[in-house]
A and B are shown apart, each in its own frame.
Chain A
């Protein structure tokens, strides 16, 4: 539906001069924009509103913040949150350590393989979690098989499509080859070039990859559940059977936290863009 609306908007924007145009077309365009915005807003916000409403109501239908204030005192909450945060941290580190040099290397040395690389990174989305788990269990070192950090290896695979796309977009936005060659001609070794030249110019992409990985770990249920670890999402599902209000309150907060991080990232990005544009206009 959104595509159809967008097509209509584009068609109207290109309306031939013989038709009523100018202010009328513009107002029609704005009207359609408003419709799209409202529909999208309802689609996203209605479930959130319902969740918040449910979390704020007690069994008698009265508004109360009891579910939110009870969260820290719930059995197993802090340990589940702590485990999820640890897993998120390990996942983010492994993802960045693996993906950043690999993506840079492919961009620099084998740009023709980018299409194949792009397809490979999509595989985790298509492969069922149980297959991934068995694969990781088969190939993981023995010491990890009884450790919750095994989940991090699985999460790294799951995060790969998102991390790769963020990094790929960041690398396409800079003249990587020229920057690397400039650094090398000035005596920069590979490590220095990576650390001082490339990584600082990928800050937004790195932050994006990191936040997406974090969001994924904070929301992943299937693998943790199959591996019998109580991460935050598993705890939320388990708690749902005991006290649904608290469970929904935690889910809501988790979602808001992720949204907040993404919004912060977007705001930083926009601020940087505005700064560049203002300076460009001045010069």
Chain B
């Protein structure tokens, strides 16, 4: 609880203010949330197509997916800003479909800066308490302690236009928490911030959520954010859920090719189906998930950079194009003779043995691989994408 974090301007947070706020929030408990078979259509577009999701009390779930996958629609339905065409929203087992947004007790932080421009930071945080009839003194005290919790007590009298983007989102977070919500909804709150502030703020959000144990739904298209913050990540596509799981499982055992391609970096490599699997880069490997393509058929398989290796080989089919130092690991881009570039992650010591221009042979290490979908791969966000053809 006493963990300290440095925010944007170097302010240490979660000190005494955090303790005070924590005392204020004693008894605060996250709610169980269930989305049951939600459908929502906008014209011909299915924004939600039978989405069902159960979130445990106090859990941090991230809705991850490309633009237009329905994640924000799901959040808006949960918040009460939009109504599903069919399906139910349950909070602690109670159907809240007919409950207006202002009565749902859900705090929300928006993607765009949503502070009320006519109010200073303190009044913004106190707004929800005012709407609940909390008296002036108590309102100011509680708003003050929340501002302290997010490290902005010295900015209480400043107006939104006097605060930086990161500070505004921290005030918005304090404002959402002030009403002691049982569910906290975060709609891409970090997307408008610069990279450094984004990383700092996400750590702070996660720390606060862990301590306050508020059920939290976090919408993002940034896989790095989702994987680093959430207890479970719900990957969405075309209004449907592809997979809901803890980040490590999502990465290691993706349920579908879409998840495999969307989460983490993935190479898409051509291969040929054989009787017992597929032949990829000259080696036969099994196919994950029991798929059995017609032997002899051309297929594309998905292989993570760490599941590939290379060896220096003057007769090799690949040429090292570039190296990206990532600390203990170095990512090596290798151009294969078919014009395809693959990324290979090796230890930095090992990668030091080759220089750009060196001839290498690339091999699959993984015992099994996943078949790629026939259509074009989605554009992964956050981390550099998978293999790409040369320009």
In angstroms, Cα B115 to Cα A13, docked, is 40
Chain A residues near B115 (CB, 8 Å)? 182
Comparing B104-112, B364-372, B383-391, the segment that makes contact with chain A is: B104-112
Chain A residues near B108 (CB, 8 Å)? 181-182, 185
Instruction: Name, among B101, B107, B178, the residue most crowded by chain A CB atoms within 10 Å (CB to CB).
Output: B101
Interface residues of A in 168-213 (CB under 8 A from B): 174-175, 178-179, 181-189, 192, 196-197, 200-201
In angstroms, Cα B272 to Cα A181, docked, is 53
Chain B residues near A200 (CB, 8 Å)? 116, 118
Chain B residues near A279 (CB, 8 Å)? 161-162
Candidates B79, B132, B172; contact of A187 at CB < 8 Å: B132
Chain B residues near A184 (CB, 8 Å)? 80-81, 100-102
Determine the residue in chain B with the shortest Cβ distance to A272.
B161
A283 at the interface (CB under 8 A from B): yes
Contact of B176 with A185 in the complex, beta carbons under 8 Å: yes
Instruction: Name, among B110, B118, B161, B176, the residue most crowded by chain A CB atoms within 10 Å (CB to CB).
Output: B118
Candidates B79, B106, B114; contact of A178 at CB < 8 Å: B114
Supposing A175-B114, A178-B114, A179-B116 touch, asked if A185 and B161 sit within 8 A by C-beta, the answer is no
A276 at the interface (CB under 8 A from B): yes
In angstroms, Cα B102 to Cα A192, docked, is 11
Chain B residues near A181 (CB, 8 Å)? 79, 81, 101, 108, 110, 114
Supposing A185-B108, A187-B102 touch, asked if A276 and B161 sit within 8 A by C-beta, the answer is yes
Chain A residues near B117 (CB, 8 Å)? 174, 201
Contact of A188 with B114 in the complex, beta carbons under 8 Å: no
B131 at the interface (CB under 8 A from A): yes
Contact of A182 with B114 in the complex, beta carbons under 8 Å: yes
Contact of A186 with B179 in the complex, beta carbons under 8 Å: yes
In angstroms, Cα B82 to Cα A185, docked, is 12
Chain B residues near A188 (CB, 8 Å)? 102, 127, 131
Determine the residue in chain A with the shortest Cβ distance to B106.
A185
Scan A21-41; emit 1 where CB is below 8 A from any B CB, else 0. Answer: 000000000000000000000
Instruction: Name, among B115, B116, B172, the residue most crowded by chain A CB atoms within 10 Å (CB to CB).
Output: B116
* Number of B positions contacting A (CB below 8 A): 33
In angstroms, Cα B158 to Cα A279, docked, is 10
Candidates B107, B116, B162; contact of A201 at CB < 8 Å: B116
How many A-B Cβ pairs are below 8 Å? 75
Determine the residue in chain B with the shortest Cβ distance to A186.
B128
Chain B residues near A283 (CB, 8 Å)? 162-164
Scan B115-138; emit 1 where CB is below 8 A from any A CB, else 0. Answer: 111100000000110011000000
User: Smallest distance from the beta carbon of A151 to chain B beta carbons, Å?
Assistant: 35
Contact of B81 with A186 in the complex, beta carbons under 8 Å: no
Chain B residues near A179 (CB, 8 Å)? 114, 116
In angstroms, Cα B106 to Cα A174, docked, is 24
Instruction: Name, among B106, B113, B162, the residue most crowded by chain A CB atoms within 10 Å (CB to CB).
Output: B162
Contact of A197 with B114 in the complex, beta carbons under 8 Å: no
B196 at the interface (CB under 8 A from A): no
Contact of A201 with B118 in the complex, beta carbons under 8 Å: yes
Supposing A186-B179, A279-B161, A283-B163 touch, asked if A178 and B110 sit within 8 A by C-beta, the answer is yes
Chain A residues near B101 (CB, 8 Å)? 181, 184-185
Chain B residues near A192 (CB, 8 Å)? 131
Chain A residues near B79 (CB, 8 Å)? 181, 185
Interface residues of A in 72-99 (CB under 8 A from B): none
Determine the residue in chain A with the shortest Cβ distance to B123.
A196
Contact of B102 with A280 in the complex, beta carbons under 8 Å: no
B175 at the interface (CB under 8 A from A): yes
Contact of B114 with A187 in the complex, beta carbons under 8 Å: no
B103 at the interface (CB under 8 A from A): yes
In angstroms, Cα B102 to Cα A197, docked, is 15
Instruction: Name, among A178, A187, A189, the residue most crowded by chain B CB atoms within 10 Å (CB to CB).
Output: A187
Scan A217-253; emit 1 where CB is below 8 A from any B CB, else 0. Answer: 0000000000000000000000000000000000000
Contact of A186 with B118 in the complex, beta carbons under 8 Å: no
In angstroms, Cα B130 to Cα A189, docked, is 12
Contact of A189 with B102 in the complex, beta carbons under 8 Å: yes
Contact of B161 with A187 in the complex, beta carbons under 8 Å: no
In angstroms, Cα B80 to Cα A59, docked, is 74
Candidates A187, A189, A197, A280; contact of B116 at CB < 8 Å: A197
Determine the residue in chain B with the shortest Cβ distance to A276.
B161
In angstroms, Cα B179 to Cα A174, docked, is 25
User: Smallest distance from the beta carbon of A111 to chain B beta carbons, Å?
Assistant: 14
Supposing A185-B79, A200-B118 touch, asked if A175 and B128 sit within 8 A by C-beta, the answer is no
Candidates B80, B110, B163; contact of A182 at CB < 8 Å: B110
Candidates B100, B107, B127; contact of A183 at CB < 8 Å: B127
In angstroms, Cα B160 to Cα A283, docked, is 11
Instruction: Name, among A183, A184, A186, the residue most crowded by chain B CB atoms within 10 Å (CB to CB).
Output: A186
Determine the residue in chain A with the shortest Cβ distance to B127.
A186
Chain A residues near B164 (CB, 8 Å)? 283
User: Smallest distance from the beta carbon of B171 to chain A beta carbons, Å?
Assistant: 12
User: Smallest distance from the beta carbon of B291 to chain A beta carbons, Å?
Assistant: 44
The 8 A-B residue pairs whose C-beta atoms are closest, nearest first, are A186-B128, A187-B131, A200-B118, A182-B114, A185-B108, A184-B101, A178-B114, A184-B102
A-B CB contact pairs (8 Å), 21 listed = A175-B112, A179-B114, A181-B110, A181-B114, A182-B175, A184-B81, A184-B102, A185-B106, A185-B107, A185-B176, A186-B107, A186-B127, A187-B102, A187-B103, A187-B179, A189-B131, A197-B118, A201-B116, A279-B162, A280-B161, A283-B163
Further pairs besides A186-B175, A189-B131, A200-B116: 10, Cβ < 8 Å: A181-B81, A182-B110, A182-B114, A182-B175, A185-B102, A185-B176, A201-B117, A276-B161, A279-B161, A283-B163
